[in-house]
């Protein structure tokens, strides 16, 4: 059986202020990719932090992992990128992520997994660079390596591609897509580029002003109406010559 994640009436409170409420999802299964979209400051990051257990709030988060393993949690969360000045090499930083909550000693298996992940993200050439020497995009790839190396069953990615160039974006999202299928990982990712969402996601959850507006299959949720109501832009969804849907933006919505 694959790992599953289900949210029921989940919310987040900072003190008395409610920043997110009423997020309810169907059962999200391993192998599926769910994209979380919405304007800036809509509450996406709060939702991720809540699911990851870093924030308190009302509601029920049900995580089922049939092969409930002892040791590290099946949920791995990649926060939005923050710059660090730690004197560690990329290799050490990724190994470090792997060793949290596991026996102290570094095994051959640990090193093999680090190597595998670095290679899959094609960052093995910078493996022995210092974290403080990396570009923003490289740092983001290292963060991604840090969650992948933990062999997650449920993977929460908060804007994993925001600092990457186009090639890397496509490559990384394709990797996430294929890892989700191969390893039956339940992926939830926040992402702004709707065209990427159309390419990578099975399901979309729309968060706006602290509430969940809709949640469903990609093509039923991403519509011209969504563009108008949530993003206040005029746009169309059209199929290209290869019959893939694309979002085409015509311009900002004229103020009524």
Partner 1 sequence: MAHSPAIAMVKGRGAYRVLVQRKKLVLLALAVVLVLSVIADLGLGPARYSMHEVVLALMGSPEVSEQISVVIWDIRMPVALMAVVVGAALSAAGAQMQTILNNPLASPFTLGISAAASFGASVALVFGVSFLPWAIDYIVSINALIMAMLAALFIHFMSQRRGVTVETIVLLGITLVFTFNALLALVQYLASEQALSAVVFWTMGSLTRATWPKLAITTAVVAISLPLFMRRAWALTALRLGDDKAASFGVNVRWVRLETMMVISLLAAVPVAFVGTIGFIGLVGPHIARMLVGEDQRYFLPASVLSGAAILSLTSVISKSIVPGTIFPIGIITALVGVPFLFSLIMSTRRRAW
In the bound state with partner 1, the residue whose beta carbon lies nearer, of 183 and 199, is 183
Neighbours of 66 (CB within 10 A): 10
- Regarding 225 and contact with partner 1 (CB under 8 A), the answer is no
Over 15-54, what HEC string results? CCEEEEEEECCCCEECCCEEEEECCCCCCHHHHHHHHCCC
Kindly state the smallest distance separating residue 8's Cβ from partner 1, in Å.
23
How far apart are CB 139 and partner 1 at their closest, in Å?
A: 11
| 139 touching partner 1, by CB under 8 A | no
87 binds partner 1 (CB under 8 A): yes
Q: At 156, is the secondary structure helix, strand, or coil?
A: strand
Binding characters for partner 1, 46-65, by CB under 8 A (x = yes): ---x--x-x-----------
Say whether residue 190 binds partner 1 (CB under 8 A): no
Q: Do 43 and 12 meet the contact criterion of CB atoms below 8 Å apart?
A: yes
For partner 1, the binding residue among 84, 170, 213, 233 (CB under 8 A) is 84
Nearer to partner 1, 151 or 234 (CB): 151
Q: Rule CB under 8 A: is residue 243 a binding residue for partner 1?
A: no
Phi, psi (5° rounding) for residue 93? -65, -35
Q: Report how far apart, in Å, the C-alpha atoms of 249 and of each of 5, 209, 227 are.
A: 33, 22, 9
> Which lies closer to partner 1 via its Cβ, residue 74 or residue 235?
74
């Amino acid at each position: 059986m694959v790992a599953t994640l289900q949210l029921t009436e989940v919310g987040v409170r900072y003190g008395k202020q409610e920043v997110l409420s009423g997020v309810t999802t169907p059962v999200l299964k391993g192998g599926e990719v769910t994209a979380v979209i919405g304007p800036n400051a809509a509450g996406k990051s709060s939702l991720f932090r809540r699911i990851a257990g870093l924030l308190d709030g009302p509601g029920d988060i049900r995580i089922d992992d049939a092969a409930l393993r002892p040791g590290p949690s099946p949920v791995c969360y990649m926060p939005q990128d923050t710059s660090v000045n730690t004197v560690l090499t990329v290799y050490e930083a990724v190994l470090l992520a792997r060793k949290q909550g596991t026996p102290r000693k570094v095994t051959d298996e640990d090193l093999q997994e680090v190597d595998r992940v670095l290679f899959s993200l094609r960052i093995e050439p910078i493996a022995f660079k210092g974290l403080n020497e990396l570009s923003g995009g490289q740092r983001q790839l290292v963060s991604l390596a840090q969650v992948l190396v933990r062999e997650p069953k449920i993977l929460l990615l908060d804007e994993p591609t925001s600092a990457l160039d186009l090639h890397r974006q496509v490559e990384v999202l394709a990797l996430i897509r294929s890892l989700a299928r191969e390893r039956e990982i339940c992926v939830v990712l926040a992402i702004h580029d709707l065209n990427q969402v159309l390419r990578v996601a099975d399901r979309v959850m729309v968060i706006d002003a602290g509430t969940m507006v809709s949640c469903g299959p990609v093509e039923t949720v991403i519509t011209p109406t969504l563009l108008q109501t949530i993003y206040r832009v005029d746009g169309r969804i059209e199929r290209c010559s290869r019959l893939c849907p694309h979002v085409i933006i015509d311009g900002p919505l004229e103020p009524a």
